[in-house]
Amino acid sequence: MNSLLTVGKNILPAKRSSVIPGFGLTMGFTLFYMSMLVLIPLGGLVLFTTSMGWEAFWQSITDPRVLSSLRLSFGASFIAAILNAFFGLIVAWVLVRYTFPFKKVIDALVDLPFALPTAVSGIALVTIYSQNGIVGRYVELLGFQIAFTWIGIVIALTLIGLPFVVRTVQPALEDLEKELEEVAASLGATRWQTFKRVIFPAIQPSLLTGFAMALARAIGEYGSVIFIAGNMPYKTEIAPLLIVIKLEQFDYTGATAIAVVMLIAAFLILLFINLIQWWNRRYSDEN
Amino acid sequence: MTGTVTLQAKNKNRSIVQTESTTESPLVRWLLIGTALVFLLLFLILPLLIVFREAFSGGINLFFQALTDPDALAAIRLTLFTAAIVVPVNLVFGVCAAWAISKFKFKGKSLLITLIDLPFAVSPVIAGLIFILIFGSRGWLGPWFLSHGIQIIFATPGIVIATLFVTFPFVARELIPLMQAQGTEEEQAARVLGASGWQTFSRVTLPNIKWGLIYGLILCNARAMGEFGAVSVVSGHIRGYTNTMPLHVEILYNEYNFTAAFAIASLLAVLALVTLVIKSVAEVKITGDQIQTKL
């Protein structure tokens, strides 16, 4: 049969080297559907931006209210992604290396933020962390407030970015060669030295990837944040919310200008992720 | 960006033999486990529990009263209707895209894969904004549609289109790596033995990708029913008409009708839990299929 297949391959012209049918149909539908739903609408957004002119764009995004919303969105997302990188690494480590009760259930629950609608996590978080909430009332005793401040925003963004770091670091930890750690130990390294010099460098690319994904997701997040944020202009108003407000006022130009800044940030992060993966593949090929 | 972590990587479960020299002292071990559990408790488990506690805080009668309210029923109907259109359409797209990408060689393949992921990089609110620019009453095509009596924004079509956009990559991105790993040999054999194109797909490919398909479907469905940002922008929030379940939760909450808001939210939370269970089963099955393929 193998020889039969090779014969078939050689007879048919190079472009149709496969006996499998359906390329025209499936590729045609894929390109058509993707163009109609994603590419042309996104292209339209770019077109709309270029037609508004540089001055209008600049004026929109240098408005103090817009600037403070962008600063808040990027800043809170960055802190949330850092928190996720730190705790996500610990969660991934614990799930891969140790055994404890209900480990399988907890492992499955890590994906909850992917499955739980953001509005649901939003109202749940504000109930927990507001002044009367089961956590908020104790925090209040310590003299500060979580709900309706930037801290609340960071908490909501940490929740929705939580799975990214865990799910990128987990496979990297599983793939680690145990022998390397034994070698390090037998050469006299302490456990912390082994982690710092052997384990961490190996999982660093996936940790960075997870961090970047959590960051990108957090910048665009809307549903889970608006309930806990308080939404005070200049103080706790995130950029996606300001887009919604501007749309309600039919200020399409202002809304698009903010959207463009956020899209550029998202694409830069995407580029960063691709660079890490490209670098990582080259690095592992060399070894 | 939901679900951007590919399934393939997760399934390489390798058991690691622990020895004295390559693990931590019990104190450090339990400190790390404790930290992880407290973190997950505060950010995942507590919110989940709160949803159910608040939903039943007014008693079971109030809970059912909230769910059978006409506006709530309308929201449930609209959410089911939207998912019933969105999930099959994106399923057909996902299978087509995965078939073209995994079974054939062509230039620009990695560009195509990147483009399929594009909606994950776009904030849901921006997705809504794009369709307002196109179909809104002051948009490019909106006035034309309106003059023909078709309203898209602030109506069901807009909700469906925005949901199609945000759930666009789900099925495709689960199937592409799975089908690439499976290769084309079985399909080639089927063709040589005289199977038609459709027979090859339905009898050879489909059984192989069944669980990957279910995995993609269930995540696509969860997002379709739970999407908030994109739908919120295009919906117009008309009670009983253009409110999906997540939007109805928001309205009830903002009216300080907390019990009713959490009652609807608890339905969505059950959906999320069912999704996680099916997802876990699918992951086990996919790993099994992969081992079988290798043998």
pLDDT for position B292 = 63
For the cut 90, the answer to whether the pLDDT of residue B45 exceeds it is yes
For the cut 80, the answer to whether the pLDDT of residue B9 exceeds it is no
For the cut 50, the answer to whether the pLDDT of residue B36 exceeds it is yes
Whole-number Å distance between alpha carbons of A22 and A29? 11
Identify the helix (H) or strand (E) that includes residue A229: helix A223-229
Sole residue written with tokens 């769910």:
B67
pLDDT for position A12 = 42
Residue B239 — very low, low, confident or very high, per pLDDT cuts 50/70/90? confident
In tens, the pLDDT along B177-189 reads: 999 998 888 999 9
Mean pLDDT of B77-98: 97
- Provide the 10 A C-beta neighbour count for residue A74: 18
Q: CATH top-level class for A64-286? A: mainly alpha
Question: Which residues in chain A have Cβ-Cβ distances shorter than 8 Å to B96?
Answer: 25-27, 29-30, 33
Residue A202, φ and ψ in degrees, nearest 5: -75, -35
Q: Which amino acid is at B210?
A: K
Residues in chain B: 295
pLDDT for position A179 = 84
**Most confidently modeled range among A43-47, A283-287, B117-121, B123-127:** B123-127
- pLDDT mean values, one per 10 residues, chain A (287 residues): 44 54 92 95 89 89 94 96 97 94 93 95 94 87 87 95 95 88 87 89 92 94 93 92 92 92 91 86 69
Q: Which stretches does DSSP call E strand in A8-55? A: none
**Are the CB atoms for A263 and A159 separated by under 8 Å?**
no
Give the number of A-B residue pairs with CB atoms closer than 8 Å.
314
Residue of A207, A5, A14, A229 lying closest to A93 (CA atoms): A207
Whole-number Å distance between alpha carbons of A241 and B123? 11
* Minimum Cα–Cα distance from A7: chain B residue: B192
- B250 and A114 within 8 Å at the Cβ level: the answer is no
Q: Which amino acid is at B291?
A: I
Nearest to B123 among A98, A220, A256 (CB): A220
pLDDT for position A281 = 79
Q: Is B103 on the interface with A (CB under 8 A)?
A: yes
pLDDT for position B10 = 43
The sign of the torsion formed by the CA atoms of A38, A43, A46, A47 equals: negative
* Minimum Cα–Cα distance from A126: chain B residue: B47
Mean of the per-residue pLDDT values of chain B: 89
Q: Is B192 on the interface with A (CB under 8 A)?
A: yes
Question: Which residues in chain B have Cβ-Cβ distances shorter than 8 Å to A37?
Answer: 161, 164-165, 168
pLDDT for position A3 = 44
pLDDT for position B101 = 94
- A185 and B5 within 8 Å at the Cβ level: the answer is no
Q: What is the DSSP string of B204-271?
A: IIHHHHHHHHHHHHHHHHHHHHH--HHHHHHH---TTTT--HHHHHHHHHHTT-HHHHHHHHHHHHHH
pLDDT for position B18 = 52
Provide the token pair at A30: 């894929």
Q: In Å, how far from its chain's centre is CA B196?
A: 33
pLDDT for position A188 = 86
Question: Which residues in chain A have Cβ-Cβ distances shorter than 8 Å to B103?
Answer: 18, 20, 22-23
Residue of B68, B97, B51 lying closest to B209 (CA atoms): B97
Identify the helix (H) or strand (E) that includes residue A120: helix A118-129
Q: What is the DSSP letter of B200?
A: I
Q: How many helices (H) and strands (E) does chain B have?
A: 16, 0
Residues 6+ apart with CB under 8 A from B198: none
What would the 3-class secondary structure string for A183-208 be?
HHHHCCCCHHHHHHHHHHHHHHHHHH
For the cut 80, the answer to whether the pLDDT of residue B199 exceeds it is yes
Cα distances from A44 to residues A40, A163, B88, B134, B157, in angstroms, run 6, 33, 26, 8, 19
Q: Is B277 on the interface with A (CB under 8 A)?
A: yes
Query: Percent of chain B, pLDDT > 90?
Result: 72
Question: Which residues in chain A have Cβ-Cβ distances shorter than 8 Å to B249?
Answer: 117, 119-120, 123
**Are the CB atoms for A109 and B279 separated by under 8 Å?**
no
For the cut 90, the answer to whether the pLDDT of residue B39 exceeds it is yes
Q: Is B130 on the interface with A (CB under 8 A)?
A: yes
In tens, the pLDDT along B146-167 reads: 899 999 999 999 999 999 999 9
Sole residue written with tokens 């993707």:
A34
Provide the token pair at B228: 């908030």
Residue B8 — very low, low, confident or very high, per pLDDT cuts 50/70/90? very low
* Minimum Cα–Cα distance from A174: chain B residue: B14
Nearest to B100 among A27, A178, A221 (CB): A27
Interface mutation target, options B123, B170, B276, chain A, most CBs of A under 10 Å: B123
Provide the token pair at B286: 């996919």
- B44 and A113 within 8 Å at the Cβ level: the answer is yes
pLDDT for position A285 = 67
Question: Which residues in chain A have Cβ-Cβ distances shorter than 8 Å to B18?
Answer: 97
Whole-number Å distance between alpha carbons of A63 and A75? 18
pLDDT for position B54 = 94
Query: Percent of chain B, pLDDT > 70?
Result: 91
pLDDT for position A270 = 85
Residue B84, φ and ψ in degrees, nearest 5: -65, -25
- Provide the 10 A C-beta neighbour count for residue A278: 10
Question: Where in chain A are the domains?
Answer: 64-286
Provide the token pair at A43: 């292209």
pLDDT for position B13 = 44
Residue B5, φ and ψ in degrees, nearest 5: -85, 120
Mean pLDDT of B191-218: 92
**Are the CB atoms for A210 and A173 separated by under 8 Å?**
no
For the cut 70, the answer to whether the pLDDT of residue B6 exceeds it is no
